[in-house]
Amino acid sequence: MNDFEIDLPDNDKLSLIATDINLYSYDFSSFSLAPLQQKASKNITDTIRRSVLSNVSNAKLVSKLSKKNEVEYVANLSDMAKKNIKSGEWALGIRKKTGKIYGVIKDTKTGENRGYLNLDKRTVKDLGNLPELSAIQGQLSSISEGIENLNQMIQRVELGQYNDRFSGFFSARQLIIEAISSKDDFTQKSLLLSAIQSNNNTIAKLAFSIHQDGLALVDPKTKSKDAKRIENFIQSSLGYLNSSVQLNLIAYTVLHEEDSLFATLTNYCAFLNQVLLKKNEEGHSIAWLIDNGHSGEDGNICEFTNGISNKIQTLIDNYKNIAISEGDNETSKSKKV
């Protein structure tokens, strides 16, 4: 994602309402983390918006030449532009093209660009990887939606010996809600790090349980009655593991930690491919066995798992290509020096 353009909504559209009951679902059959995902994504745009606004007083409006792929520096940002931005008639955005980052001024009604802001080097440096992290939020939402669709097909059965592992999800979710609600940076970071640590512990335990139960499920010696019980274990564990992964994606988004976010995605993708989708000697995976042991015709866990894995891998490959490209650019600059 070398070139992109993102919108920066107004501050009043970014706040998380801590008393929003939709954030606290205890529907044990399935629960959506979409509201938290949206709040985390908006946290990034809020940070970018504040950084750009702090630069507006010194920014220069630039207009794109129609025939040449260049930009022309014109007057300082006018009082009218500032007034329209403040009133909401115009909105700020960020654009990256041919390696350079600009501020964008958009008409909120028509969606047309009214001009561009040339950001000083310090502002661009302060933004760091936030524009790129914001630009992939749509893909992350698509992955999260796929995970939630997968969870809706899973039959959750609360099983006594696994309850301590399942409860870890609710503890981490509460920590993240409290973190996003916090206005103190230190408190927010501490709560998020605690949630991540709790999530990683939950994910590791559930991944190992699914692996062990998967071995029993594919064992031809396993009786059909036991196989159904094991399948219930796997489905419940998978549902909570999926949701815990989503929580880590949310936490790292709020922390603006792009590398750690991709570490979470890579670990989850490895789990899907090496545990759920790995085929045995007969050519059957755990996901396939769950689908085929399912009554009815809506057993699509294998299909959805493959889809999620492919989406994650595409995002990871793009991330790696950008990292390689940036590394080559740095090497080239060093040689010139």
Burial class, 174, CB count within 10 angstroms (exposed 0-12 / middle 13-18 / buried 19+): middle
Q: Work out whether the CA dihedral 197, 198, 199, 204 comes out positive or negative.
A: positive
- At residue 231, the pLDDT reads 82
In a structure prediction context, what are the per-residue pLDDT tens digits for the chain, which is 337 residues long?
Answer: 455 454 555 555 445 667 777 777 766 555 667 777 777 777 777 776 666 665 554 444 444 433 344 443 333 456 666 666 666 677 666 666 656 666 677 766 777 766 666 666 666 666 666 767 777 777 777 777 777 777 665 555 445 556 677 788 889 999 999 998 888 999 999 999 999 999 999 999 999 988 888 888 878 888 888 888 888 888 888 888 988 999 999 999 999 898 999 999 999 999 999 999 998 888 888 888 888 864 444 557 888 889 999 999 998 988 887 666 655 555 555 455 4
- Residue 82: its pLDDT value, please? 65
Nearest alpha carbon to residue 71 among 129, 6, 22, 119: 119
Q: What is the pLDDT of residue 323?
A: 65
Q: Transcribe 67-110 into DSSP letters.
A: SSS-EEEEEEPPHHHHHHHHHTSEEEEEEEETTEEEEEEEETTT
Greatest CA span in the chain, whole angstroms? 79
pTM: 0.67
> What pLDDT, on the 0 to 100 scale, is given for residue 74?
35
* Four-CA torsion 296, 298, 303, 305, nearest 10 degrees: -100
The confidence score (pLDDT) of residue 193 equals: 96
User: Given this model, what pLDDT does residue 172 score?
Assistant: 93
- Phi first, then psi, for residue 184 (nearest 5°) are -100, 125
Would you state the pLDDT for residue 262? 93
Residues 6+ apart with CB under 8 A from 116: 61, 62, 63, 64, 71, 95, 102, 103, 104, 105
